[in-house]
Structure 1
Amino acid sequence: MLMLAIVSCKNEEEKNEATEVAVKKKPKVEKLYGFVFDDYDVVRDTIKRGDFFGSIMDRNGVGPGKVYEITEEVKDSFNPARITAGKKYFVLRAKDSAKTPEYFIYENDKINYTVLALGDSVYVQKKKRPVTIKKREISGVVTSSLSEAMQAQGLSNMLVYELSNIYQWSIDFFKLQKGDQFKMVYHEKYIDDTIFAGIEKVDAAVFKHQDKPFYAFRYNTDTVSGKPSFYDSEAKALQSFFLKAPLNYTRISSRYTKRRFHPVQKRWKAHLGTDYAAPYNTPIVSTANGTVIASSYTSGNGNYVKIRHNGKYTTQYLHMTKRAVRNGEYVRQGQVIGYVGSTGLATGPHVCYRFWVNGKQVDPFRQNLPSAEKIKDSLKDDYFAYIEPLKKELDQIPYKHI
């Protein structure tokens, strides 16, 4: 009896071990975009230059007649002709001898995707991958550049853009000093809780430049558009009526002066503008909202754009390789209006930025330019109550040092 009991236990142990091995070897089911991929023969690829929807379908056994039927059926909700090179796509085919294509999945971006049903019932579904938002706090110090400071901590270059965008009116990022420090409270987006998908928003930041802290707090005063702006610890707007410069420039090659030796005409004359040197095709942006009153070409100015911002201020941008706006068009601050070139009387790629006040050409660096709209007195108590915990959170984050 004792032997039987021992044999019985051993058989049970072997059975349990076999079950455990079976469980371990069970393959993981791949579920993406709402489909169990294991149920299909899956074609995974990236749209290449020269590809179009018809050619992709043809490679997967869908003839021209069916392609025409599909495009006609879905043209009001999805235009297959506008698929973009570099985007991922999937073709889900039936697991049969014909491998009949049943679905086409197109990644619009990391989050949004389009499902196109290819069977007897043709339809489109526009969907989003599940996104989670995670709050983060960071601190950094500049050793040579802001981008290198971010990279040193393994942070996204998107944060460089966010900080530059917030402080573009108050800090010249071409004049950062070694030892400048920054801290941020912000939110990141993640797909399926693991794949980084960008910055959701920045709640607050402080940038210590030349030992002076510049605070910035995101706050919405515009109930109509719902678009927030950034304000400092005293409720003053960080945004200015004008940007400091019309582009990300390499250097200022020539400033506003009443007397300069012209490099092309070889004579002394006034230079009533500021030259920003930059590589060819660098985007040039409007420094403020306004209406284009000239988008043209002359032998001296080359391709140029002139913008009236209001009854007092006008700006002009010269020597473009090409213009991106038309006469009469309304443009917003930061909108691309052209690209750096050397057309007209120019010896190298740059933009000559000219500035008028009440019809008189002036040096913009010597103007006391207006700031953006301030927070109304009626909202200040609410604003200070809102930023109090954010400022406390920022101040508790330790600064990094070199």
Structure 2
Amino acid sequence: MKKLGLLFLMMLALVACNDEEKDQAVNNEVKKEKLPPVEKEYGFVLNDFEVVKDTIESGDSFGYIMDQNGVGHGKVFEISNKVIDTFNPARITAGKKYMILKAKDSARTPEYFIYENDKINYTVVALGDSIYAEKKKRPVTIKKREISGVITSSLSEAMQAQGLSNLLVYELSNIYQWSIDFFKLQKGDQFKMVYHEKYIDDTIFAGIDKVDAAVFKHSDKPFYAFRYLNDTVSGKPSFYDDEAKALQSFFLKAPLNYSRISSRFTKRRFHPVQKRWKAHLGTDYAAPHGTPIVSTANGRVIASSYTSGNGNYVKIKHNSKYTTQYLHMTKRAVRNGQTVKQGDVIGYVGSTGLATGPHVCYRFWVNGRQVDPYRQNLPSAKHIEEELKDEYFAYIKPLKEDLEQIPYKNI
């Protein structure tokens, strides 16, 4: 009986032990389930901090944001002075996202301020005892894409119909701005593209990296475009067609054969007629009365008129980006709404309006803002040189084959 009793007690102990082990295993599983997932962003493990995420609003300043999060004015002044070469606190922009990482202590001390310059680039400002700022980039993945589309009403709608980014509308418009009038696209026009997209952390779309090749069939005529580095000096690639011709047009250096530049673009010049200092947002080319003035690029005349200041003048819109104007003509040679080509005579040198002598004042707009044309990186029309064409054709051959393998979409 004693042996049986002892055996029974041993069995009870074994069962109890097993139950304890099972309970412990269950408890461990519960603990594992309750642990929050590790969250990483901007190179930090966010679980280690108290996180404040927000967006800069109009009127916000770096000092105000810091003050709202427990950083005093003296500390803000110190931070600003130490990081200004990398991060200028005075230039934070409304609409930009930011994050503040605070210590998980009773004081909730801010340790880092992270400013999103854009989707990829950001700046980390260390706010602790060691103050510094670092510019960093999120990891970016490049993915190759091939698409095909057809115009039913507009290029934008053709992109939207496939769930594609409107950035592609800009890319195609920019590539073909000198070859195709996108306001005159026809129903049934087709296009194909080989390009690359940027993704943050392999999942978040961050824009277009580059377009390798495209073909736009407009009025049943294919317009090919291949990205190619022909100018090794500038290091900037341009687009060329299947015959090695540049797609981008160019502006003439000047609108006439001139004797000298009598006044350049400047924010401060003493006006010879008005006798006061003011901005001169143009370039004056002195030339004899009657010298022909030509359009510096293809475009459409949007003004051919007279004002007391400009005298006889012509204004030409070349595309959605560039506009030029020619002032003080003795006579205009084009009418409003007329299409002109580069080199077409649009008027003749005079001294009408506020002018002291015969010249043309040449004005230049980029995206609606008057600029100095001599300081612009304007499109080049330099074709592939004859001795380099074989190399170019070998380069575009696989790209053209890629385009040919993409089927056209039809209505």
Give the structure-2-normalised TM-score.
Answer: 0.69
Say if 2:198 is the partner of 1:194: no
How many residue pairs match? The answer is 325
Where do 1:3-402 residues align within 5 Å? 22-242=31-251, 244-245=298-299, 273=314, 285-286=322-323, 324-325=370-371, 330-333=375-378, 372-402=381-411
Cα separation, partners in 2 of 1:6 and 1:190, compared to 1, 3 Å: same
Offset at 1:241? 1.9
Offset at 1:330? 3.3
Cα separation, partners in 2 of 1:149 and 1:293, compared to 1, 3 Å: closer
Checking the alignment, whether the CA contact within 8 Å between 1:286 and 1:332 is kept in structure 2 is: no
Offset at 1:41? 1.0
Q: Distance in 1 between matches of 2:86 and 2:190?
A: 48
Q: Distance in 2 between matches of 1:294 and 1:164?
A: 30
Cα separation, partners in 2 of 1:174 and 1:293, compared to 1, 3 Å: closer
Checking the alignment, whether the CA contact within 8 Å between 1:137 and 1:186 is kept in structure 2 is: yes
Offset at 1:147? 0.4
Structure with greater Cα Rg: 2
Which whole-Å deviations, capped at 9, do the CAs of 1:170-218 have from their partners, x for residues lacking one? 1010000000000000000000000000000000000000111111111
Cα separation, partners in 2 of 1:126 and 1:275, compared to 1, 3 Å: closer
Q: Distance in 1 between matches of 2:222 and 2:395?
A: 19
Cα separation, partners in 2 of 1:166 and 1:76, compared to 1, 3 Å: same
Checking the alignment, whether the CA contact within 8 Å between 2:145 and 2:196 is kept in structure 1 is: yes
Greater shift, 129-138 or 88-97, is seen at 88-97
> RMSD over aligned Cα, in angstroms?
3.8
Checking the alignment, whether the CA contact within 8 Å between 2:313 and 2:326 is kept in structure 1 is: no
Which whole-Å deviations, capped at 9, do the CAs of 1:33-63 have from their partners, x for residues lacking one? 1111111111111000000010011101111
Offset at 1:21? 5.1
Checking the alignment, whether the CA contact within 8 Å between 1:184 and 1:206 is kept in structure 2 is: yes
Offset at 1:83? 0.5
Specify every segment of 5 or more residues in structure 1 that has no aligned partner in the other structure, as ranges: 247-251, 257-261, 265-270, 277-281, 296-308, 335-370
Q: Distance in 2 between matches of 1:394 and 1:284?
A: 29
Cα separation, partners in 2 of 1:28 and 1:319, compared to 1, 3 Å: closer
Checking the alignment, whether the CA contact within 8 Å between 1:103 and 1:116 is kept in structure 2 is: yes
Task: For 2:375, give the aligned amino acid.
Answer: Y
Checking the alignment, whether the CA contact within 8 Å between 2:70 and 2:110 is kept in structure 1 is: yes
Aligned to 1:355: none
Q: Distance in 2 between matches of 1:39 and 1:66?
A: 23
Offset at 1:245? 3.8
Offset at 1:275? 6.9
Checking the alignment, whether the CA contact within 8 Å between 2:313 and 2:327 is kept in structure 1 is: no
Cα separation, partners in 2 of 1:236 and 1:119, compared to 1, 3 Å: same
Question: Matched residue of 1:144: which SS?
Answer: coil
Offset at 1:9? 8.5
Cα separation, partners in 2 of 1:72 and 1:319, compared to 1, 3 Å: closer
Task: For 2:144, give the aligned amino acid.
Answer: K
Question: Matched residue of 1:163: which SS?
Answer: helix
Checking the alignment, whether the CA contact within 8 Å between 1:285 and 1:333 is kept in structure 2 is: no
Offset at 1:315? 8.9
Specify every segment of 5 or more residues in structure 2 that has no aligned partner in the other structure, as ranges: 1-6, 252-296, 329-341, 347-359
Question: Matched residue of 1:136: which SS?
Answer: strand
Task: For 2:322, give the aligned amino acid.
Answer: V
Q: Distance in 1 between matches of 2:180 and 2:243?
A: 17
Cα separation, partners in 2 of 1:14 and 1:381, compared to 1, 3 Å: farther
Q: Distance in 2 between matches of 1:332 and 1:315?
A: 21
Give the structure-1-normalised TM-score.
Answer: 0.71
Question: Matched residue of 1:168: which SS?
Answer: coil
Offset at 1:244? 4.3
Task: For 1:36, give the aligned amino acid.
Answer: V
Q: Distance in 1 between matches of 2:213 and 2:364?
A: 37
% identical equivalent positions: 66
Question: Matched residue of 2:171: which SS?
Answer: helix
Checking the alignment, whether the CA contact within 8 Å between 2:124 and 2:134 is kept in structure 1 is: yes
